[in-house]
Structure 1
Amino acid sequence: MQIEHGKRRRNILVLSVLGILIAIVFLISMNTGYIRLTPMEVLRTLFGQGTEKQSLILFEFRLPRIVISVLIGAGLAVSGCVMQGISRNALADPGILGINAGAGLMVMLFISFYPTTAAAPIYLLPVLALVGAGLTAALIFLLAYKRHQGLSPTRLLLTGIAVAAGISAAMIVLTLRLNPEKYQFVATWLAGSIWGTNWKFVLSLLPWIVVLLPFVCYKAQVMNVLNLGENTAIGLGTRVSREQLVLLSAAVGLAASSVAVSGGIGFVGLIGPHLARRLVGPKHQMLLPTVALTGALLVITADTIGRWIIQPSEVPTGIVVAVIGAPYFLYLLAKSRS
């Protein structure tokens, strides 16, 4: 009893520290940019005492991007956690498995024929990305699933990598028909630059995160049971295939809606769950909220570094995350082989 109480206090402390770190980086990010705002200017502007120029910079350019960074970080990290849980594969991630590529292909097809600044397409992008990601996930699931063997973690990973490679090749071919302006947009998107930087994109993403994150947390106990193995889960009365499909759909929705406004940011769904497990352990009741905060902290920090490091230009957020994530992925791959 005392041990459980100690664990609970430690987990609450971890969540509190992550929340404080996000708040600190949030404040730093509001001060970061080509036109610098001091902390006092930011505070005055937040309370309506700033100049018109300061209000424009903070409310129309920086705050939407910062909020989007937090949302997509949480969405991608929880999506990766769900995929790792249902596949029992520590290397599963929406980027590695090709889900992000499927969403990106649909977004790219859309922007090839329509302007990206129109109001209606902005709200359609998450839906279109969901269609692309859903079709990709269905293809991967069908190719990796064997009737008498279930969902093999190794087969799932290899199938996802192969499908992602094929989709990436198709996207490269499609770029040949784009005009220079749209090609520049696609190149920036593929690099993982957060291109949705106004409140319309926040509103297009927010409903998906607000609905799907609580739903996944509600399924935490089911994910704990699935982690015990398929035979054990069936013995405990869990409808394994149905629950895997429902959770996979939620993970695809989170990844697709995030990718629609963030570009091809990878490794968040891989790093976030692993760091969270080290902090709070494998039980999903605490793991999922910790994963959401860890992913949010990772993306907002990467975006802030990307905007600060080579001013007045910026490094795409996806590249900053990849600098951290690629070595970590190789470490996990080497560890899994050993």
Structure 2
Amino acid sequence: MAEQKQKKQRKWIAILVAILIGVFTCSVSLGDSTLSIWRIVPTLSGFGSFKEEFILFSIRLPRSIILALAGMALAMSGALLQSVTRNDLADPGIIGINAGAGVGITIFYLFVQSDIQHYAYVLPMVAFLSAIITALCIYFFSYEKGKGIQPVKLVLVGVGFASALSGLMMLLISSAERSDVEFVSRWLAGNIWGTDWPFILALLPWLLVCLPVIFYKANTLNILAMGEPSAIGLGVSLNKERFLLIIIAVALAAAAVSVTGGISFIGLMAPHIAKSLVGPRHQSYLPIALLMGMILLIAADTIGRNVLVSDTIPAGIVAAFIGAPYFIYLLMKSN
């Protein structure tokens, strides 16, 4: 039985890697200035023209890598939140964590009064500190003594916080310069803005630290998914493990949205799709969810950049267009 599950997992990993390569290639190739698929490998090898090298190395490649890393981070964050809270509707965007990170970035952006790209390495930390305060507030307001976290209440409190914090972001910039308003508006819409190589180096360490811990804690996540009585009976320190895993989930989400803007639903859809393919065991579905997060965000951005001739649709709006009906379906299914 275990061998069959491993074969199934390997099969889906191979399929999703092939899809990821295809989506990544389309992301690099398609845009205002098309770079032929057949010219990507020669350009990577140093045999491209000046225009091809500029399009690939200065515009498309860093953007696509950032999308892949951010999709990975959001998917893992969503998987952790769903497991720790035992709430299938949990997503860092839906429950307000992304908006909390956005408030911190907005305040920092207005404070520094200069090109925010110079602070690429500081932004994830600013977003994390702001997001963790938000997460603690959401946890406090959705906790009921004797009952713990109530899944539907968590979503409702999170949605309320997300709306309030998005309003606060607009209030903060109400008297700001037009360029500041434009930046925050683009951030709220999930318009990918951190698309240079420094943002890759800013995001990568968070993944390198957090992902090994998540996979190491896969058995703990399996036990937490069984419920509090079972977890306590098996000797799991609930408060300690929950605190650590929520910190990791918030860190990944905050690091991702600090460079991509307010992206929702990736963390909701990727774990659910992964579970439907290989089952709910964390060792099985986490690698699949990771790949699905990358595919979904890269695809959303590629569609948004190419579906209209005259304008770009932010990746956050494309993801919401796909994810919102799925969220409503899950909400109806949970009741």
TM-score by shorter chain over 0.5: yes
The answer for the alignment partner of 1:222 in structure 2 is: 220
Distance 1:243 1:135 in 2: 18
The structure 1 residue matched to 2:319, chosen from 318, 321, 324, is 321
Counterparts in 2 of 1:116 and 1:73: CA distance versus 1, 3 Å: farther
Moved more, 94-103 or 209-218: 209-218
Mapping 1:71-220, distance limit 5 Å: 71-115=69-113, 117=115, 120-220=118-218
Residue 99 of structure 1 deviates from its aligned partner by: 0.3
Q: Deviations over 1:30-75 (max 9, x none)?
A: 1111111112222211100011121111001100100011011111
Amino acid at match of 2:214: V
Residue 312 of structure 1 deviates from its aligned partner by: 4.7
Contact 1:60 1:198 in 2 (8 A): yes
Distance 1:301 1:193 in 2: 14
Distance 1:232 1:159 in 2: 27
**Aligned partner of residue 121 in structure 2, secondary structure:** helix
Contact 1:194 1:317 in 2 (8 A): yes
Aligned residues: 335
The answer for the alignment partner of 1:47 in structure 2 is: 45
Residue 14 of structure 1 deviates from its aligned partner by: 0.4
Consecutive unaligned residues of structure 2, counting only runs of 5 or more, are none
Q: Deviations over 1:8-46 (max 9, x none)?
A: 101111011111110111111111111111122222111
Contact 1:33 1:311 in 2 (8 A): no
Contact 1:34 1:312 in 2 (8 A): no
Q: Deviations over 1:306-325 (max 9, x none)?
A: 11111352110001111100
Residue 120 of structure 1 deviates from its aligned partner by: 4.6
Distance 2:8 2:247 in 1: 32
Distance 1:103 1:280 in 2: 32
Distance 2:175 2:105 in 1: 15
Distance 1:235 1:311 in 2: 59
Amino acid at match of 1:239: S
Residue 6 of structure 1 deviates from its aligned partner by: 1.6
The structure 2 residue matched to 1:306, chosen from 296, 304, 307, is 304
**Aligned partner of residue 48 in structure 2, secondary structure:** coil
The answer for the alignment partner of 2:262 in structure 1 is: 264
Contact 1:79 1:254 in 2 (8 A): yes
Residue 177 of structure 1 deviates from its aligned partner by: 1.9
Indicate yes or no: 2:2 matched with 1:4: yes
The answer for the alignment partner of 2:231 in structure 1 is: 233
Amino acid at match of 2:45: F
Contact 1:116 1:122 in 2 (8 A): no
Distance 2:42 2:221 in 1: 46
Consecutive unaligned residues of structure 1, counting only runs of 5 or more, are none
Contact 1:130 1:253 in 2 (8 A): yes
Distance 2:238 2:226 in 1: 11
Residue 116 of structure 1 deviates from its aligned partner by: 5.7
Counterparts in 2 of 1:105 and 1:14: CA distance versus 1, 3 Å: same
Instruction: Give percent identity, aligned residues only.
Output: 44
Residue 153 of structure 1 deviates from its aligned partner by: 1.9
Residue 118 of structure 1 deviates from its aligned partner by: 5.2
Distance 2:190 2:118 in 1: 23
Q: CA RMSD in A?
A: 1.3
**Aligned partner of residue 123 in structure 1, secondary structure:** coil
The structure 1 residue matched to 2:64, chosen from 55, 63, 66, is 66
Distance 2:133 2:330 in 1: 28
Moved more, 307-316 or 197-206: 307-316
